[in-house]
Structure 1
Amino acid sequence: MNLETSDNGFTLSIEGRAILTHRPESPCLFVGKGHERMDMYRGNFDIEDYVIERSPLTHAEISGNAIAFSTAPGQPTRVVLTIKDNHILFDAKDPAINRVWLRLVTEEPEHVWGGGEQMSYLDMRGRRFPMWTSEPGVGRDKSTEITWKADVTGKSGGDYYNTNYPQPTYLTSRRIAVHVETTAYSVFDFRNADFHEVEIWAVPERIELFAASTFVDLVGQLSSRFGRQPILPDWVYGGAIIGLKDGENSFTRLEKFRAAGVKVSGLWCEDWVGLRHTSFGARLFWDWQANEQRYPGLKDKIKDLRDDGIRFLGYVNPYLCVDGPLFPIAEAAGYFATDSEGKTALVDFGEFDCGVVDFTNPAASAWFAEEVIGKNMLDYGLSGWMADFGEYLPIDVNLSNGIDAKLMHNAWPTLWAEVNAKAVESRNLTGDALFFMRAGFTGVQAHCPLLWGGDQSVDFSRHDGLVTVMSGALSSGLLGNAYHHSDIGGYTSLFGNVRTAELIMRWSEMAAFTPVMRSHEGNRPKDNLQIDQDPEVLGHFARMTQVYVHLAPYLKALSQEAADTGLPAQRPLFLHYESDVTTYTIQDAYLYGADLLVAPVWQAGELARNLYLPKGDCWVHVWSGEVFDGGADVSVAAPFGKPAVFYRQGSSFTDLFAGLAHL
């Protein structure tokens, strides 16, 4: 980095690209005080800030690599920024400061991506994005009836910026990246044409800066910083993971899938722990051990499945229900977060209470990793699981490490991922056992081997349907998350919104061109169409699993590339076509590796797909063999079973891709 001074200010740049500019009339740093209000209701948050002070630090004095900021010449220094390597270190001299606003350089036109897993907008330019892990919400669009109903009935409608996985990191079309090292609530504001503003509800530890000559190199730097996943387990390439929660009948239904020609790699039964019946319907029993009343002889059946080439997966989250046998063990050992009276803090999940296992307590983390995941799950025979609810840490509990829960809330998903990863590592199963998470924050990449897109609505809606999964995969992939997938057919069914056969089939088509195919019965299985209930849907699903298995050699190559370079399997078009600015805002199509371009149908009733092909290559339509020049908008037929997929002419995988037309 280079710090260039002038008579009345300075410019800080990296690799010749300006990052901060400061003049008394346009300061780059503001500090002050605020008092926040945060209300949590089952993972949803209502947050506002009362700003007591916001002062521009107009005066800057530079000494070596340190910059001392004050409100005016002769006034006390309030903050010192120190430039070290590619970091900007913060040192607040005024202990009362709990709000920081930093303005970073933008050069129009500039595109901005990242922010963790962003479901609505891949290009974040022109919008404001809070960085706070939470439930994403139902509908996520304040103009829709379903979001309004969710807000009225459960404070759960959400908005475009709500996400399970935020991360205070962004990269821009200037080929630079900025990371804020903090767990505090923060906001990325990209609405101003003159600057990007980062707001932080604490004094951050540092700002980290990255620069590269290409997007590929920049993504590689970020994946090295945050962590890289192991290669995908070999068993995954065998087909889809079938999600069923029907007790022992799940095994019978699995055979129906197989008889229809479905390629199967795993059976996922989240109800392996048994059910709790409430007025809201059947819920899982949150105690994390096999329930052999619901699944008689489960351990032997898991072994039989494995002998037949199929793995068994389950479910776990970081809570323990008060009426389960694990709760008193954890409470006696002091493993739970506590309330203001020093007692076990209980969280109401709707007619049952749970304790929060305190992962800031090393003994509690070790116990959960060994006794719960290690013995009850891995030793029992599970090869994977959904690791749910990482975004649910209540903000009013007391934790073992003494840090305010408001500062630990964002860190919680990473701690939860680490617990799961340590359990897997303890059995020497890293790269074989596969757990997947929806929640995340900085550093989750180093522990979680697979993301899933959370709880989309069972529809084609713009902000909560099928199309959002693509944006989520692309945004998170730029920050070092190589593998992403989703619930085929969506999950959330509320207010009469139910799945259609068309939705399941279109979702299956997209999933065939992602690292993992996994189905889900949704939150209301009996109200929604299931894959095995409709012969046409089942046959279509079988064909798409055959497409997935056919592409296994290519996916294996992508998996190795991810381990070697940090490049994700699903990539924005601009990652390999950075000279083609048209690609910078495309989020409803993606590159699958460097050689496949996938443009799923994501709107109801469509049998053709309009899309843009990047310039610089010719593209071959996999189903017809027709060759198209890049740099143009095209329209192709997209009947069921033949989504708009193209391969790059001259690819070393040409024979493999051409073979798709014969399946």
Structure 2
Amino acid sequence: MFFFVLLLLGGLNEVRGEFLSSEECDFQLSYLDTILICHTADRPAVRLGKGEFVAKDHLGNFEINDTVLQVVDLTEYNIISGELGNTFAFFNSEVNIGVNLVVFEDEEKGLYEVKLEFPPEYRVELEGFNRIWLELVADPFEFIYGGGEQFSYLNLRGRVYPIWVREQGVGRNKSSSLTQIMDANSNAGGDYHTTYWPQPSFISSRKFYFESSYSTYHELDFTQSDRHVVYWHINIPTEEEGSACQSCHLTFLVKPSLMEIVQALNPGQPPLPDWVYNGAILGVQGGTDKMLNYLDEAQSQGVEVAGLWIQDWSGKITTEFGTRVFWNWEWNSTWYPVLDELIKDLDKRNIKVTAYITAHLNIDGEVYQNCSQNNYWLTEENGERLLQDFGQFTIGTVDIIRPSPDCNCINVGRGWYKDLMKKNLVNFGFAGWMADFGEYTPTSARSSFADRWWGDQHGEVLHQIFSEEWAALNREVVEESGKLGDIMYWMRSGGIGSKSSQVMSWAGDQTVDWTQSDGLGSSIIAALSLSMSGMGLSHSDIGGYTTIPQLNLTRSKELLLRWAEYAAFTPVMRTHEGNVPEANHQIYSDENTMQQFARLTKIYVALANYTREAVRQNSEESIPVMRPLFLQFPDDPETYLQEYEYMYGDDLLVSPVLDPGVEVWTVYLPLGNSWIHLWSLEEYSEGVVIDIPASLGYPPVFYGAGSTWESLFIQISQDFN
């Protein structure tokens, strides 16, 4: 049962943990033994402030300048009981400002919902205040997970995480020469926290979850030993406005286990289409003849092919970053002749064709030009159409934003774009597509449906939620076409609401290297952090994407095959040629590569029923397919330190090889049961660190002794050794 405790000096000893032994709480918000907020006059839980915010766009890489001009501690508090919930008033009587935290509890769900209100008596003095800080109790030995999709670290403790949707960056390590060069050239280097899918949310190993639904810039500060600080931008409503944002609130969720928290967060994405399990989705391009040649070559070497991904179905252009798709979202019959009939023929062979689309249109294309006079587009602050350089080509962005429920209006641009996608993607016969981008919208952008946002923060909120709106539109296109469960679209950008709209995530544009900050290892952290943020289905580009030959950043054969061998133990195997295909080793580069890749696709297919069950479990039980070890083995302290091993479904432990030139890999086997090595069928004890043979094509994979899938695993071992 939830309870609120008002504690005066000396009253905390019997309920607080050792991590609070150095301070007393004047006010404490707790659930059973989990202390969430501890307030004292000297260490107030809430602060208000003023500041200025500038987010300068560099092709989706934002230079953020968030300047705090004034901070006021709300040192005093009061408790007001009400019929629907309790109000906790934090204020500073000297300057006459304050904020009320109206707390609604759901005892059955273990949930607090907290809404912010700004009482009328403070409105005059609150003018200009637009920042808030909330301090939560921390344990020095606590682990923190989530934050949306992170790439560098699974445990977020010890760092500050700005929550701003953007490109992940190239290199993502300020001490690396690659990142420094990319920063100097185009502000595109990134950092440990830059990500397409950030969320102002986290899970604590103390078995509680925090989430902010405010769609503004946030910072999650996990650098202090005794407090976590959540900071975000707010809008103080005028008296006429009444409330800043009816749909905005904070959430605290406390459960007996981390797994139960994750299940409560995950809405359960729909099951994947059956065709996905037939093999790899081959990323190929270059027109009809090349597509068919690649397919014939792959099948002649035994590659199991579920589908073809032709991102250039609408044509190609050439830029300094490599060949790019012509963002004119209709079939280019010159580039891909007879594609309409070919899709039907391939479907009879159980091979699907998938495509590519964004919410943006190249202004040189016919699709844009035919609708350029219509009021379908995002605009600038001055009312002029928003036109952006996306890297040597200019685009217009469709205003895809859903009107607020109380608007009683229709977004004709959004409706037009849904119809275009139904006609040119669904009805054309594509079985799926990459729904790319969603993170480039500048803060100067404006939607015609401004009633959903707050004054000066309109552009800021629009930027933050655009990717969520893009996900919702794709979901509606598929559902309204009656194709949910048949079509798979995959997306990289997102936010709090995306997990309810997306059917598959992908990790974005990793570099074609071994670096943990942006290479192979980062794609694993991406999947596991998303699993802790409510998204249970994820995969990555096999071999990575970002290629810069001038900096010797090109894909090797070993990297490609190491990535592919771990991808066989993920929900989707999909290749990508990269932005400079000719500079990268490809699965079709030589016969040996093709044969090794073929074997891995057969392993993936052999696991189809096991993977289906894991995907069903995510869909119906909200248990992510790829999950950190500690979710399944919470009583084993060592599992919290393993950031690159993961459970694939209930039974398979996967420890991908992350370094080049190795034949042996070190693996930790959790407490709970003994473990059997998939390739040798040798049994190992629980709770041990072992060195295991890991030659190319044989990633360290184990299953728990006594698994109900043991006969399948033994068969795989026998068939593929």
Answer yes or no: is the 8 Å Cα contact 1:148–1:157 preserved in 2. yes
The answer to whether the Cα contact below 8 Å between 2:51 and 2:68 also exists between their aligned partners in 1 is yes
Which residue matches 1:582? 638
Tell me if structure 1 keeps the 8 A contact 2:354–2:433. yes
Q: Which moved more, 1:476-485 or 1:132-141?
A: 476-485
Encode CA deviations 1:6-55: one digit per residue, 9 max, x unaligned: 34721101243111011111110111110012111100011122211111
- Match for residue 504 of structure 2 among 421, 446, 450: 450
The residue type paired with residue 18 of structure 1 is: I
Contact 1:169 1:177 in 2 (8 A): yes
Q: Are the aligned partners of 2:510 and 2:545 in contact in 1 as well (CA < 8 Å)?
A: yes
- In the other structure, the counterpart of 2:201 is 169
* Aligned-pair CA distance for 1:350: 2.6
| Separation in structure 2 between the aligned mates of residue 150 and residue 545 of structure 1, nearest angstrom | 35
Aligned to 1:417: 471
Q: Distance in 1 between matches of 2:62 and 2:422?
A: 33
Stretch moving more, 514-523 or 12-21: 12-21
- The whole-number CA distance in structure 2 between the counterparts of 1:459 and 1:39 is 29
Q: How far apart, CA to CA, are the structure 2 residues paired with 1:7 and 1:651?
A: 53
Q: Given the alignment of the two structures, is residue 568 of structure 1 paired with residue 608 of structure 2, yes or no?
A: no
TM-score, normalised on structure 2? 0.90
1:622-633 superposed matches below 5 A: 622-633=678-689
Choose the corresponding residue for 2:387, options 319, 323, 346: 346
Q: Distance in 2 between matches of 1:504 and 1:265?
A: 19
1:195-344 to 2 correspondences below 5 Å: 195-202=227-234, 205-223=248-266, 227-248=267-288, 249-344=290-385
8 Å CA contact 2:57, 2:440 repeated in 1: no
DSSP-derived class of the 2:588 partner: helix
Structure 2 residue corresponding to 1:477, chosen from 531, 538, 550: 531
CA contact (8 A) 1:106 1:195 kept: yes
Separation in structure 1 between the aligned mates of residue 285 and residue 185 of structure 2, nearest angstrom: 27
Matching residue of 1:4: 5
Question: Residue 100 of structure 1 is aligned with which of 111, 132, 136?
Answer: 132
AA aligned opposite 1:506: R
1:14-29 matches, cutoff 5 A: 14-29=31-46
Tell me which amino acid in the other structure corresponds to 1:92: F
Letter in 2 for 1:387: A
Return the TM-score normalized by structure 1.
Answer: 0.97
Structure 2 residue aligned with 1:619: 675
* 1:90 and 2:116 are equivalent in the alignment: yes
Asked if the contact 1:318/1:390 (under 8 Å) is kept, the reply is yes
Mapped partners of 1:319, 1:453: distance in 2: 20
- CA offset at residue 143 of structure 1? 1.0
* Matched-pair contact (CA < 8 Å) for 2:323–2:579: no
Q: What is the CA-CA distance between 1:279 and the residue it aligns to?
A: 4.8
Question: Aligned match of 2:185 in 126, 133, 153?
Answer: 153
Q: Deviations over 1:261-306 (max 9, x none)?
A: 1111000000101012345542211011110111000011111111
Instruction: Name the CA shift for 1:492/1:202 in 2 (closer, same or farther; >3 Å).
Output: same
* Aligned positions of 1:536-575 closer than 5 A: 536-575=592-631
Residues 200/368 of structure 1: CA separation in 2 closer, same or farther (3 Å cut): same
Q: Which residue of 1 aligns with 2:428?
A: 380
Deviations 1:425-473 (A, max 9, x none): 1110001100000001011011110000010000001201101111110
Gaps of 5+ in 1: none
Give the secondary structure class of the aligned counterpart of 2:485: coil
Task: Measure the CA separation in 2 of the matches of 1:48 and 1:194.
Answer: 27
Deviation at 1:479, TM superposition (A): 2.1
Q: Which of residues 531, 537, 545 is equivalent to 1:491? A: 545
Task: Quote the Cα distance in structure 1 between the aligned partners of 2:98 and 2:713.
Answer: 61
Distance 1:278 1:49, change over 3 A: closer
Superposition deviation, residue 555 in structure 1: 0.5
Q: CA RMSD in A?
A: 1.3
Q: After alignment, is 331-340 or 236-245 more displaced?
A: 331-340
Structure 1 residue 530, shift from structure 2 partner: 1.2
Contact 2:492 2:507 in 1 (8 A): yes
In the alignment, what sits opposite 2:219? 187
Q: What is the rounded CA distance, in whole Å, between the counterparts of 1:643 and 1:360 in structure 2?
A: 44
Return structure 1 stretches of 4+ with deviation > 6 angstroms. Answer: none
Structure 1 Cα separation of the partners of residues 370 and 7 of structure 2:
64
Equivalent pairs, count: 658
Q: Percent identity?
A: 37
8 Å Cα contact 2:446-2:462 kept in structure 1: no
1:473 is paired with a residue whose SS is helix
Aligned counterparts of 2:303 and 2:569: Cα–Cα separation in 1: 16
The one-letter code of the counterpart of 1:300 is E
2:560 matches 1:504:
yes
Residue 280 to residue 453, structure 1, CA distance change in 2 (3 Å): closer
Name the residue aligned to 1:609: 665
Offset at residue 364 of structure 1 (A):
1.6
Q: CA deviation at 1:399?
A: 1.3
Q: Which residue of 1 aligns with 2:487?
A: 433
2:417 corresponds to which of 368, 376, 379: 368
- Residues 614 and 650, structure 2, Cα contact 8 Å, conserved in 1: no
Whole-angstrom CA distance in 1 between matches of 2:66 and 2:459 = 17
- Paired amino acid for 1:498: T
Q: Is the 8 A contact 1:331 1:344 kept in 2?
A: no
| C-alpha contact 2:321 2:579 (8 A) present in aligned 1 | no
Structure 2: 5+ residue stretches without partners: 10-25, 106-111, 120-125, 236-244, 403-410
Q: Matched residue of 2:312: which SS?
A: helix
User: Hey, what does 2:98 align to over in structure 1?
Assistant: 78
CA distance in 2, matches of 1:447, 1:527: 36
Which of 106, 118, 138 aligns to 2:170? It is: 138
Distance 2:522 2:675 in 1: 25
Matched residue SS, 1:533 = coil
Contact 1:122 1:585 in 2 (8 A): no
Q: Could you tell me which amino acid in structure 2 is paired with residue 170 of structure 1? A: F
Distance 1:459 1:279, change over 3 A: closer
Residues 1:639 and 2:691 aligned together: no
Q: What's 1:69 paired with?
A: 90
Shift of 1:75: 5.2
User: Any idea what the Cα deviations from partners look like across 1:538-590, whole Å, max 9, x if unmatched?
Assistant: 11110110110000110011111111111111010000110111111211110
User: Which whole-Å CA distance do the structure 2 matches of 1:237 and 1:398 have between them?
Assistant: 42
